Amino acid sequence: MRCSALVLAICGLWTNPVLADEVELTSRVEAVTVFLEGGRVTRTAGFSVPAGTHDLIIRDIPDGALMETLAVRVDGATLLGVTHREDYVPPRDAAPDPRIEAAEAQIETIERRIEAVQDSAARARLAKEAAEIRIGFLTQLGRGEALAGAGADTLRALSEMVGEDAFEARQSALEAEIAARGIERQLEDLEEELERAKLALAALDREDEERLQVTLRISAEAATDGTVSLEYLPYPDWIRWQPAYELRLVRGAAAQLTVQRDALIYQETGENWTDVRMTLSTALPFVGVEPSYLHPKRRYIVPPAPPPSRKSGADALMAEPVAEAPMVVEESSGIYAVDSNGLSFEYAFSDPVSLVSGADVVRLQLDEIALDAEVFAQAVPSADDTAFLMARVTNTSGELLLESVSAGRYVDGGFIGSDFFEGLAAGDEMELPFGPIDGLRLAHDLIDRSSGDRGFISKSNAEATREEFVVRNLTEEDWPVRVLAAVPYSEQDDLQIDWTASPPPSEEDVDKRRGILAWDLELGAGEETTIRLDTTLSWPEDMILR
């Protein structure tokens, strides 16, 4: 039976006045489904009760669980109702973690050793203090008034005695200070050892003390053993995963791109996960599950405003206010970016996963996808000195390749760098960069730029440019090269733009970007090619070119 915490009355909670005995359970995280943002946690607990009505109390749910999302299932008994408490939760008897207990014992041992060293240093300084008291006494003895009438021999003997004793006392004080400093040097190592032990404990003890309490009232017709299953969503930013890729390009006659898909998983729920069943999902439950509401577009017209009043002074102040035409506002609602194919995928892992809250980042391997690749060089001579290796691929995997901030790139087994990967929908095509090709050198020269009465343009409202783009293949292999260049474009009829190119471009308005031209060339080893581009702009004399 499943029951939401928001429909307790339907479940019959507390409608039965019969008192129930309380049984406290200890639950554990059994399984987690991790979304790109957020997650769904499943925790379980076993119970054994005699016949009758019982309250099963669970006090180990993290404080960040969203109780309005709680779903409960009880096997082995009938669930009568559910309640939860967020405040005034009694302390729970958490099962001790042997690793944490050992780390705490290590800290206590080091602290006792530090106290012992401090005590030894204090005892050494007691000897120094005693010697200093003795020195003070001898000093006062040498200045005593009783010596005023003493003879020379007496004073000489007393002086020798005081000097010898003072020397011995000062030597004792010095040796005591040296011994104390030697003992205290041990504190430096012990304090470093203590700091390391505290860091080790902090790495283990990542769980929050604040917990929630859920009470399940159940009824058993006979003595029974059963299990409780709780499912809930924590705060969205407490659990997440993101893809990480390794893009491995192998060139050749049958070029291929292998996409190694991994997942980076984080959690900050306030409790550690130990050996949980892990499932990753591409769903976004917190983004929204319904399409945007489309408001009707109401437009209307009004009479024009009357001309401004020519009244002045007091008459103008007393005049009726002029009614302004209301502003036309188009209502809109929030629109969220979603996967256009409307699908989500889940990846379940067979091996259990452990993850310390707020400390660990687990990287799990998903799979490898092999895609056919078309390899070519892309050249932008007006901006770059070299061409760049590109791979054109189509996502034939049937799954969405999500965007990732971490996508390592390899060419023929060699690592060339890491960069952002913008994602690729199933069936879609994209061009991926794989670094510069040093042997494909580029040059851009502005041969002529004329305006006014200079050059071959004589009108002041015209401008002409002549550019050359050069690509040199200094490698020992043939390359298909795609050269890109830009010509200006206009959305005004009065601004006329004409251009000619030799050779003519293979494509205009590349990727629907106006004015972007492309030449698809085959450049043999040791060859070079030159593209000439002439552009002319003309506009009315009373206008300024921008």
Amino acid present at 173: A
Q: Which of 42, 98, 29, 100 is nearest to 69 (CA)?
A: 42
Using pLDDT thresholds of 50, 70 and 90, give the confidence band for residue 28: very high
Torsion angle in degrees (nearest 10) through CA of 388, 391, 392, 395: -140
Query: Can you tell me the mean pLDDT for 281-288?
Result: 80
Higher pLDDT, 97 or 367: 367
Structure tokens, 479: 């390359």
Higher pLDDT, 10 or 358: 358
Structure tokens, 521: 């060339």
Highest mean pLDDT out of 38-52, 139-153, 169-183, 287-301? 38-52
pLDDT at 342 over 60: no
Q: In this predicted model, what pLDDT tens digit does every residue of 191-221 receive, in sequence order? A: 888 888 877 777 766 666 788 899 999 999 9
Contact between 58 and 72 under an 8 Å Cβ cutoff? The reply is: no
Domain coordinates in residue numbering, the chain: 2-97+207-234, 98-204
What's the pLDDT score for residue 284?
83
What's the pLDDT score for residue 134?
63
Q: In this predicted model, what pLDDT tens digit does every residue of 136-173 receive, in sequence order? A: 665 665 555 545 555 555 545 545 555 556 556 667 66
Query: Can you tell me the mean pLDDT for 384-408?
Result: 92
- Quote the DSSP letter at residue 526: T
What's the pLDDT score for residue 166?
57
Work out whether the CA dihedral 413, 415, 419, 420 comes out positive or negative.
positive
What's the pLDDT score for residue 307?
65
Query: Can you tell me the mean pLDDT for 433-452?
Result: 86
pTM score above 0.75: no
What's the pLDDT score for residue 309?
52
- Distance between CA atoms of 336 and 510, rounded to whole angstroms? 28
Q: Which of 110, 73, 286 is nearest to 192 (CA)?
A: 110
Higher pLDDT, 85 or 334: 85
What's the pLDDT score for residue 5?
41
pLDDT above 90 as % of the chain: 43
Q: Which of 435, 484, 444 is nearest to 466 (CA)?
A: 444
Structure tokens, 168: 């011995």
What's the pLDDT score for residue 57?
93
Angle, CA of 57, 46 and 203, to the nearest 5°: 80
Using pLDDT thresholds of 50, 70 and 90, give the confidence band for residue 460: low
460-466 long-range CB contacts below 8 Å, 24 or more apart?
Answer: 460/541, 461/538, 461/539, 461/540, 461/541, 461/543, 462/536, 462/537, 462/538, 462/539, 463/536, 463/537, 463/538, 463/545, 464/534, 464/535, 464/536, 464/537, 465/534, 465/535, 466/532, 466/533, 466/534, 466/535
What's the mean pLDDT when you consider all of the chain? 80
Contacts of 157 (CB under 8 A, 6+ apart): none
What's the pLDDT score for residue 30?
95
pLDDT at 265 over 90: yes
Q: Which helix (H) or strand (E) holds 517?
A: strand 516-523
What's the pLDDT score for residue 177?
72
pLDDT at 452 over 60: no
Pairing of the two strands 211-220 and 52-62 = antiparallel
Query: Can you tell me the mean pLDDT for 61-89?
Result: 88
Query: Can you tell me the mean pLDDT for 512-532?
Result: 94
Helix axis angle, 152-204 relative to 98-142, nearest 10°?
170
Structure tokens, 161: 């005695």
pLDDT at 450 over 90: no
What's the pLDDT score for residue 286?
79
Place of tokens 């379940």: 348
- Distance between CA atoms of 472 and 481, rounded to whole angstroms? 11
Using pLDDT thresholds of 50, 70 and 90, give the confidence band for residue 541: confident
Q: Which of 474, 471, 463, 465 is nearest to 444 (CA)?
A: 471
Higher pLDDT, 8 or 477: 477
Torsion angle in degrees (nearest 10) through CA of 415, 420, 422, 427: 10
pLDDT above 70 as % of the chain: 74
Evaluate the omega torsion of the peptide bond into residue 236 and state whether it is cis, within 30 degrees of 0.
no
Contact between 180 and 128 under an 8 Å Cβ cutoff? The reply is: yes
Judged on CB neighbours under 10 Å (0-12, 13-18, 19+), 114 is: middle
What's the pLDDT score for residue 140?
62
Query: Can you tell me the mean pLDDT for 514-539?
Result: 93
- Distance between CA atoms of 484 and 464, rounded to whole angstroms? 20
Residues in the chain: 546
Our measurement of the distance from residue 156's CA atom to the centroid of its chain's CA atoms, rounded to an integer in Å, reads: 84
What's the pLDDT score for residue 162?
52
Provide DSSP, 399-461: S-B--EEEEEEEETTEEEEEEEE--B-TT-EEEEEEEEEEEEEEEEEEEEEEETTSTT---TT
Q: Which of 110, 114, 58 is nearest to 85 (CA)?
A: 58
- Distance between CA atoms of 432 and 414, rounded to whole angstroms? 16
CATH architecture of residue range(s) 98-204: Up-down Bundle (1.20)
The upper half-sphere exposure of residue 187, i.e. CA atoms within 13 Å in the direction of its Cβ, equals 13
Contact between 243 and 347 under an 8 Å Cβ cutoff? The reply is: no
What's the pLDDT score for residue 323?
37
Using pLDDT thresholds of 50, 70 and 90, give the confidence band for residue 10: very low
Q: Which of 166, 158, 176 is nearest to 137 (CA)?
A: 166
Residue 520 to residues 422, 448, 533, Cα–Cα distance (Å): 25, 25, 16
What's the pLDDT score for residue 126?
66
What's the pLDDT score for residue 533?
93
- Distance between CA atoms of 83 and 120, rounded to whole angstroms? 58
pLDDT at 372 over 70: yes
pLDDT at 99 over 90: no
What's the pLDDT score for residue 363?
92
Higher pLDDT, 100 or 535: 535
Query: Can you tell me the mean pLDDT for 491-505?
Result: 89
